[in-house]
Amino acid sequence: MGAMGQQPFETVLEAHHGEIHRYLVRLTTRASEADDLSQETFLRAYRAYRALTPDANVRAWLFTIATNLARNHFRDEKRRRTAYTAAVAARSESDANAPDGEAMFQEARARVEAVVGGLPLKQRLAFILRKIHDLDYDVIARSLDCSADSARAHVFQALKKIRHNLAGHQLVEMEMRR
Amino acid sequence: MNRPAVCPEIEMDLIATATGDADPATSGRVQRHVGRCAPCQAEFHRYRAVEDVVERWRGVPVAGEALAAARKRLEQRLDDLRRRTVAYRIFPSPLGNILIAVSERGVALVEYLGQRRHVRDSRLSRLPEVEAVEDGAEVEARYRELMEYLEGRRTRLEWPLDLRLARSDFHRQVLEATAGIPYGAVASYAGLACEVGKPTAARAVAQALRRNPLPIVIPCHRVVGSSGALTGYAGHKTDLKQQLLTTEGVRTVKRDRELRVPHDTMYVTSPGSTEYCLPSCTWLSTIEHPHRLRFFGTRSRAEASGLAPCTDCRPDLHPIPS
């Protein structure tokens, strides 16, 4: 079934489930949360898929559905931030045995994850959609109900916070000497 | 961090350039500025370092085995949803608004909505086991074929059908038998009852057809009383039944204040026979179950369904005057 000229939904699942799931894993603290949100994303998408116009950007559309569900899910912002910071701290500890350069990178990455986890929701979503999933600003804007300029500003705010958090970090100073 | 580490007028462009988010013109301008401004150059490199770390983060695999398990769970739920899903649209037609709904197996519902135009007015909204979703193009193709049919430009709707909305196996049998009545012919409730092996169940057959989820497609309008009376259709819409029969070349007349199909001026055949006859053919007086006879309004419709003129009564030489 499916509209004329439309890919079967299996194809959509095949092409995008991995990425959408990873996006939601990055946003959430527990695997079960990501699992629930990605299931709900694709069940909703399935229900609306037939009415989608043939020229629609399916990937952007799925990210919009997932982002909306995530925004609803994270209404209780404060609880999320606390949980996220704790989870990131736990994750970074397990990497203690890595070689030196690698350990430094991993430590920096854990700090970036922690900063991103502590960002206001729209900044965090905009940052992950842009920097991790490489979506266009107009798609991000649609997912966040804002203008493309605001979406861009959210990403820049996030980058500034990360940069200030990493100030004095070995990695950043090393880069300067290159 | 009180003093800005970077010239404020170029800060946004500098961040964009260092993190790979700037157009070539902006990028060139930033590069020129950085070449002659040491603090901005330092800041530029810090943002490059940030970008490197983010790049690393992007490359970190997440999920893995958990992803495969999540995918499997999702596929199970989708399978269940897919089985329950019917995609519908509502269209205008000469018979009022019509809802057409399609499942993965075939067309599952054709419903007369009259003046109503919302899915909440449909049977679909009262069926908890069905997940109704609005459709795009597929249902529209069915609609176009249905319109051609109603305008008499098409005599067959060769659609895959899904009889999930039939209420029982008996109803399903009746619907399947009805689907075998050819275009331009009429049969009787009692005849269909014989056909499904329940010769005394004419009333139950009428009930099953009253609940036909696929009117027009499963041509319950071609089933009339043994006397030729149109009786009911989709409740009290006998006028729709008359309209559909007229499109197929079956005349109706008013006798004893009732709309009837005039059997005595129609061509006639019996299930299993390869010929059609005049109503006066002597062979007709010998047959065992007269209510199983089928009647055609025109010779051309009888012949289109594969029948030859009877070699005794020769309807080809003595056609019924129209």
Burial tier of A123 (Cβ tally within 10 Å: 0-12, 13-18, 19+)? buried
The average confidence (pLDDT) of chain A is 83
Which residue reads 């940069």 in tokens? A163
The Cα angle at residue B248 between residues B245 and B249, in degrees rounded to 5: 90
Least confident of A67-71, B64-68, B91-95, B234-238: B234-238
Q: What is the model's pLDDT at position A99?
A: 61
* Chain B residues in contact with A160 (beta carbon < 8 A): 15
**Which of A81-85, A102-106, B75-79, B256-260 has the largest mean confidence?**
B75-79
CB contact residues (below 8 A), chain B span 15-44, against chain A: 15-16, 19, 21, 42
How many Å apart are CA B29 and CA A15, to the nearest integer? 39
Copy the structure tokens of residue B220: 């319950």
* Chain B residues in contact with A105 (beta carbon < 8 A): 53, 56
C-beta separation of A66 from A26 below 8 A = no
Q: Does A17 touch chain B if contact means CB atoms closer than 8 Å?
A: yes
Contact flag B85-A22 (C-beta cutoff 8 Å): no
pLDDT bracket for residue A96 (50, 70, 90): low
CA distance A53 to chain B (A): 8
CA distance B1 to chain A (A): 9
Is residue B240 pLDDT above 80, yes or no? yes
The Cα angle at residue B87 between residues B86 and B88, in degrees rounded to 5: 115
CA distance A37 to chain B (A): 11
Is residue B69 pLDDT above 80, yes or no? yes
CA distance B27 to chain A (A): 16
The average confidence (pLDDT) of chain B is 90
CA distance B123 to chain A (A): 19
C-beta separation of B183 from B301 below 8 A = yes
Copy the structure tokens of residue B37: 């401004």
pLDDT bracket for residue A97 (50, 70, 90): low
Is residue A86 pLDDT above 60, yes or no? no
How many Å apart are CA B226 and CA B209, to the nearest integer? 15
Nearest CA in chain B to A109: B53
Do strands B131-134 and B185-188 pair parallel, antiparallel, or not at all (unpaired)? Answer: unpaired
Average pLDDT over residues B153-172: 92
C-beta separation of A62 from A69 below 8 A = no
Q: Does B193 touch chain A if contact means CB atoms closer than 8 Å?
A: no
CA dihedral B49, B53, B55, B56 (to 10 degrees): 140
C-beta separation of B231 from B222 below 8 A = no
Is residue A77 pLDDT above 90, yes or no? no
**Of B45, B58, B74, Cβ closest to residue A176:** B45
CB contact residues (below 8 A), chain B span 79-108, against chain A: 81-82, 85, 87, 102-104
Q: Alpha helices of A94-169 — where are they, by DSSP H?
A: 100-118, 121-127, 137-144, 148-165
Q: Measuring CA to CA, how many Å separate B284 from each of B187, B269, B278?
A: 16, 9, 9
Q: Does A168 touch chain B if contact means CB atoms closer than 8 Å?
A: no
Contact flag A17-B74 (C-beta cutoff 8 Å): yes
Looking at the DSSP bridge assignments, the partners of residue B253 are B260
Is residue B129 pLDDT above 80, yes or no? yes
Bin B70: left if φ > 0, else alpha if -120 < ψ < 50, else beta. Answer: alpha
Q: Does B12 touch chain A if contact means CB atoms closer than 8 Å?
A: yes
C-beta separation of B78 from A46 below 8 A = yes
Active site residue B194: no
CA distance B89 to chain A (A): 10
Q: What is the model's pLDDT at position B307?
A: 96
Copy the structure tokens of residue B250: 């079956």
Q: What is the model's pLDDT at position B251?
A: 93
Number of inter-chain CB pairs under 8 A, A vs B? 139
Average pLDDT over residues B152-158: 90
Contact flag A131-B19 (C-beta cutoff 8 Å): yes
How many Å apart are CA B84 and CA B262, to the nearest integer? 44
Residue percentage of chain B with pLDDT more than 70: 97
Q: Does A3 touch chain B if contact means CB atoms closer than 8 Å?
A: yes
Residue B241 identity (one-letter amino acid): K
Is residue B280 pLDDT above 50, yes or no? yes
How many Å apart are CA B123 and CA B213, to the nearest integer? 9
Mutation target for A interface from B54, B130, B131: give the one with most A CBs within 10 A: B54
Which residue reads 């959210």 in tokens? A154
Q: Alpha helices of B162-298 — where are they, by DSSP H?
A: 169-179, 189-195, 202-210, 238-247
Contact flag A39-B102 (C-beta cutoff 8 Å): no
Q: Does B47 touch chain A if contact means CB atoms closer than 8 Å?
A: yes
**Of A50, A108, A156, Cβ closest to residue B87:** A50
- Considering only residues A108 and B90, tell me which one the structure prediction assigns the higher pLDDT: B90
Q: What is the model's pLDDT at position B2?
A: 45
Q: Does B137 touch chain A if contact means CB atoms closer than 8 Å?
A: yes
Contact flag A50-B81 (C-beta cutoff 8 Å): no
From the candidates B40, B220, B281, B310, give the one annotated as an active-site residue: B220
Bin B261: left if φ > 0, else alpha if -120 < ψ < 50, else beta. Answer: beta
Q: Measuring CA to CA, how many Å separate A127 from each of A131, A154, A164, B35, B164?
A: 6, 7, 16, 28, 48
pLDDT in tens, A1-53: 444 457 889 999 999 999 999 999 888 878 888 899 999 999 999 989 988 88
Q: What is the model's pLDDT at position A1?
A: 43
